[in-house]
């Protein structure tokens, strides 16, 4: 079965907004074994909407609309779909009463324009929307002699997601042949895409019935494996087989085998080892701390640390001797190590990280160019320093530096 | 004149990739006065591509394709557009020689499949691509008795942008009536969208010939003004008139009048006042430091600070008395003030910020619920504390807290 998604709203045709609902919907319906073959984005224009709906109904078995269900004159999805299908709209009194109750509960009177949100395509099932006034609609049947499913969903992402999960997923599944999807995701930090692919392609290519996708970005490679089978067990066995073989090849470069983020994995290892972490960041300016603390409950293993931007602060908060900075420069192997050791001591943590480098765009020299970063990890057993020359802009250099530091912690603890 | 954008590539129909080229292209052609009326995303499928091209040529005066110009079997944009237009492809020997030279320069031999990148629509202008092997193409003329412009652009964003700027912008401008576009952007922090709109709508609605757009997101409102006129001066005068009137109404809530970010504006003010800043962050965990240091050259005004996650670190690195934390709790007005004052003193900075709060999802209590944040700003003239209850998830709460803190610095210095 194939599907397409039509996102409705003139704001999605400006430079400022992009349609993100379709990524969620694609993920959901791919899991059901339905392929997305087309996406389109239409403004709040009746004729263009009707044409887009007609093209969609011609092309695809499932046509999903997001947006354009609100109360304003610009909200035209219901009317356009009715026109494209040649089906009338009927005002649903029960839906209308629900909208009125929603307003009354807040002490407001419903303004008359809201009534159009109770207009339902003849024959459609109303899909209740607990998070907004406009309900969704589901209509399946033969249109122009083709078997089609038409789904209208509200535009706000939290409304759309809740409604899809509660009302659409199982309805769609019931229309499909029974097939269970099993997936695995392996994540790898700080290795290049071509290097990873060269090592693992000979392996995953042996497993023709498992679909493998490589995604690369920002210091991380993701390997997605998926397959379908008549039972969940059969699908899982098949996907595990290839994932395990690939993982064995990549060994400890794989940091996550079930989709967890690097920040989460570092948290797991710290808790498993009953260890705590402190950081002293120069060029990353707080990014490493921000990433670690983006995980809820990180106070169980993250002590804190220092943003040692000025040289005097490296001395004041992380105890780096001023004459060491003088002698080796702030961006040096020695200062990175002293930051890691100093912050570990000051915060009484099991592990200390020190990062110092040149994030650019200014501040580079022939000896210490933009992109040069020293990463140090101090523990009871000593201090390790990794030097790297990252390419790219300030944002990329800082991201890579913080990723490498996180990966150092992981490797130390595993 | 109106336009549409067709993004080509099966990867854009997965949950992992979204079409971002169209945001850039929309911005560019809006500036020329051309409206985007439709966007579509098509996989690497010949029949569907031909149909999408035909629909586009029917609907829109300018049809821009991105992607599908590479050397593989899946790259079908050239062939599909040729089919839709009813125009043959011809291999261009000059383009072919250029591709061969490109390979030779790297010491490689061109594999035969690359030759198809030299296939050009009959009558089209070849648009050189300095950043890749596949050139763009420009074809204008009457198709099916309609005046149309068809533009083929490569998919990789840096290739597409360079090619559009060098080859397409002026060609498009030459097809359009002379009109100059003037724009202004005002940015406002920490005010609600409906509040801002209620105050400024009566003003901007008086200026019918200036288009005003309100964009809201993550603690920030942007007001975009734009207008076109026969001369740049006339356009600028008109757009300045409404922007200035709106700015007067909003007064110091407007932090930026030329598109600068809040982080940049805070940097400007600190430099203008010859002041330095230090931060002590608890619940934001480094986010504030990260945002401040995301600006290149921030070492001129940012000293650094501490990520005071554990209570002992609040004492150790920011000098907050342990009995104060005991008495008032870590999330309190008193501790926020002590953090700001302590870090200002330790870092010898002009201004100190302290942030402490409950970012969630755990850790909330009836007295101190998730979302409660205290923000303190210490200076020579004393310490100011702002208490806020933010709604939303951990990420949103941390973002709002750091935004409010940045805005406190701005208001203190302006």
Which CATH number does the domain housing residue A409 bear?
3.90.950.20
Q: Could you tell me if A404 and A325 lie in one domain?
A: yes
Q: Is the Cα dihedral B320, B321, B323, B324 positive or negative?
A: negative
CATH classification at residue B196: 3.30.70.2860
Q: Could you tell me if B24 and B40 lie in one domain?
A: yes
Residue B302 has its nearest CB partner, among A26, A309, A361, at A309
Q: Could you tell me if A306 and A388 lie in one domain?
A: yes
What average pLDDT does this structure show over A299-317? 97
Q: Could you tell me if A96 and A169 lie in one domain?
A: yes
- Among the candidates A225, A256, A287, a domain finishes at A256
Phi, psi of A75 (to 5 degrees): -90, 100
Q: Kind of pairing, strands A254-256 and A180-189?
A: antiparallel
Query: Minimal Cα distance from B16: which residue of A?
Result: A23
* B145-202 residue pLDDT tens: 899 999 999 999 989 999 999 999 999 999 988 778 888 999 999 887 778 888 998 9
Task: Give the E-state strand segments of A31-155 in sequence order.
Answer: 35-42, 62-66, 89-91, 119-121, 125-127, 136-143, 146-153
Q: Looking at beta carbons, which residues of chain B come within 8 Å of A23? A: 15-16, 18
Question: Minimal CA–CA distance to B135: which of B69, B49, B67?
Answer: B69
**Per-residue burial over A48-81, b = 16 or more CB atoms within 10 Å of its CB, e = otherwise:** bbbbbbbbbbebbbbbbbbbbbbbeeebbbbbbb
Q: Looking at beta carbons, which residues of chain A come within 8 Å of B39? A: 12-13, 40-41
Q: Looking at beta carbons, which residues of chain B come within 8 Å of A302? A: 285, 309-310
Q: Could you tell me if B67 and B149 lie in one domain?
A: yes
- Among the candidates B174, B198, B223, a domain finishes at B174
CA B88 to chain centre: 40
DSSP 8-state code for residue A363: -
Q: Could you tell me if A343 and A364 lie in one domain?
A: yes
Question: Minimal CA–CA distance to A139: which of A129, A125, A128, A127?
Answer: A125
Q: Could you tell me if A160 and A191 lie in one domain?
A: no
Give the 3-state secondary structure of residue B237: helix
Q: Looking at beta carbons, which residues of chain B come within 8 Å of A18? A: 18-20, 22-23
Residue B13 has its nearest CB partner, among A37, A306, A317, at A37
- pTM of the predicted model as reported, rounded to 2 decimal places: 0.83
Q: Is the Cα dihedral B8, B13, B14, B16 positive or negative?
A: positive
Give the closest-approach CA distance of A92 to chain B in angstroms.
31
Domain that holds residue B164: 2-174
Q: Would the pLDDT of A218 be above 80?
A: no
DSSP result, B302-368:
EEEEEE--SHHHHHHHH---HHHHHHH-SSSHHHHHHHHHHHHHHTT-SEEEEEEE--SSS---SSS
What is the number of domains present in chain B?
Answer: 3
Q: Could you tell me if A200 and A144 lie in one domain?
A: no
Q: Is the Cα dihedral B94, B99, B104, B108 positive or negative?
A: negative
Q: Could you tell me if B43 and B143 lie in one domain?
A: yes
* B4-57 residue pLDDT tens: 999 999 989 999 889 999 999 999 998 888 989 999 999 999 999 999 999 999
Question: Residue B10 in contact with residue B68, Cβ under 8 Å?
Answer: no
Q: Could you tell me if A109 and A65 lie in one domain?
A: yes
Residue B1, CA atoms < 13 Å, CB-side half-sphere = 22
Task: Pick the residue of A263, A290, A355, A393 with the most B CBs within 10 A to test the interface with B by mutation.
Answer: A290
Q: Looking at beta carbons, which residues of chain B come within 8 Å of A313? A: 278, 303-305, 347
DSSP result, B246-266:
HHHHHGGGEEESBS--HHHHH
Size of interface A-B (CB pairs under 8 A): 226
Residue A110, CA atoms < 13 Å, CB-side half-sphere = 19
Put simply, the answer to whether B289 touches A286 (Cβ < 8 Å) is: yes
Q: Would the pLDDT of B64 be above 80?
A: yes
Phi, psi of A372 (to 5 degrees): -75, 120
Query: How far is B49 from B53, CA to CA, in rounded Å?
Result: 6
Put simply, the answer to whether A39 touches B395 (Cβ < 8 Å) is: no
Put simply, the answer to whether A48 touches B37 (Cβ < 8 Å) is: yes
Q: How far is CA B163 from CA A243, B154, B166, B241, in A?
A: 41, 8, 5, 35
* B114-154 residue pLDDT tens: 899 999 999 999 999 988 889 999 999 998 889 999 999 99
What average pLDDT does this structure show over A170-189? 89
Put simply, the answer to whether B20 touches A15 (Cβ < 8 Å) is: no
Q: Would the pLDDT of A403 be above 90?
A: yes
Give the closest-approach CA distance of A93 to chain B in angstroms.
31
- Among the candidates A125, A144, A174, a domain finishes at A174
Cis amide leading into B361 (omega within 30): yes
Q: Could you tell me if B204 and B277 lie in one domain?
A: no
* B304-313 residue pLDDT tens: 999 999 999 9
Residue bearing tokens 């970010």: B261
Query: Which residues face B356 on adjacent strands?
Result: B374
ipTM of model over 0.90 = no
Q: Could you tell me if A166 and A201 lie in one domain?
A: no
Give the closest-approach CA distance of A384 to chain B in angstroms.
23
What average pLDDT does this structure show over A244-251? 94
């Amino acid at each position: 079965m194939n599907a397409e998604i039509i996102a409705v709203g003139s704001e999605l045709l400006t430079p400022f907004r992009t349609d993100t609902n379709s990524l969620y919907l694609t993920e959901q319906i791919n899991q059901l074994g339905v392929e997305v073959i087309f996406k389109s984005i239409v403004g709040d224009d009746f004729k263009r909407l009707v044409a887009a709906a007609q093209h969609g109904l011609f092309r695809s078995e499932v046509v999903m609309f997001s947006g354009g269900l609100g109360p304003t004159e610009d909200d035209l999805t219901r009317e356009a779909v009715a026109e494209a299908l040649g089906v009338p709209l009927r005002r649903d009194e029960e839906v209308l009463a629900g909208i009125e109750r929603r307003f009354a509960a807040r002490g407001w009177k419903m303004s008359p324009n809201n009534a159009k949100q109770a207009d339902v395509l003849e024959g459609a099932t109303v899909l209740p929307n607990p998070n907004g006034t406009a309900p969704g609609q589901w209509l399946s049947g033969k249109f122009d002699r083709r078997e089609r499913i038409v789904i209208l969903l509200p535009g706000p992402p939290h409304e759309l997601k809740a409604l899809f999960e509660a009302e659409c997923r199982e309805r769609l599944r019931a229309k499909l042949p029974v097939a269970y999807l099993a997936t695995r995701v392996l994540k790898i930090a700080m290795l290049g895409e071509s290097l990873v692919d060269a090592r693992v392609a000979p392996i995953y290519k042996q497993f023709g019935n498992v679909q493998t996708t490589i995604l690369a970005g920002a210091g991380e490679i993701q390997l997605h494996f998926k397959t379908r089978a008549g039972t969940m067990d059969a699908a899982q066995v098949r996907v595990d087989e290839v994932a395990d073989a690939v993982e064995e090849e990549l060994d400890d470069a794989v940091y996550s085998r079930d989709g967890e983020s690097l920040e989460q994995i570092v948290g797991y290892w710290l808790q498993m080892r009953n260890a705590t972490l402190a950081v002293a960041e120069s060029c990353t300016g707080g990014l490493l701390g921000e990433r670690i603390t983006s995980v809820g409950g990180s106070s169980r293993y993250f002590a804190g640390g220092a943003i040692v931007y000025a040289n005097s602060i490296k001395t004041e908060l992380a105890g780096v001797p001023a004459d060491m900075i003088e002698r080796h420069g702030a961006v040096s192997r020695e200062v990175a190590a002293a930051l890691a050791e100093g912050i570990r001591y000051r915060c009484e943590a099991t592990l200390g990280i020190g990062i110092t480098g040149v994030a650019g765009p200014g501040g580079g020299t022939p000896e210490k160019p933009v992109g040069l970063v020293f990463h140090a990890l101090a523990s009871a057993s000593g201090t390790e320093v990794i030097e790297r020359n990252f390419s790219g802009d300030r944002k990329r250099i800082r991201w890579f530096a913080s990723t490498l530091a996180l990966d150092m912690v992981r490797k130390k603890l595993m």
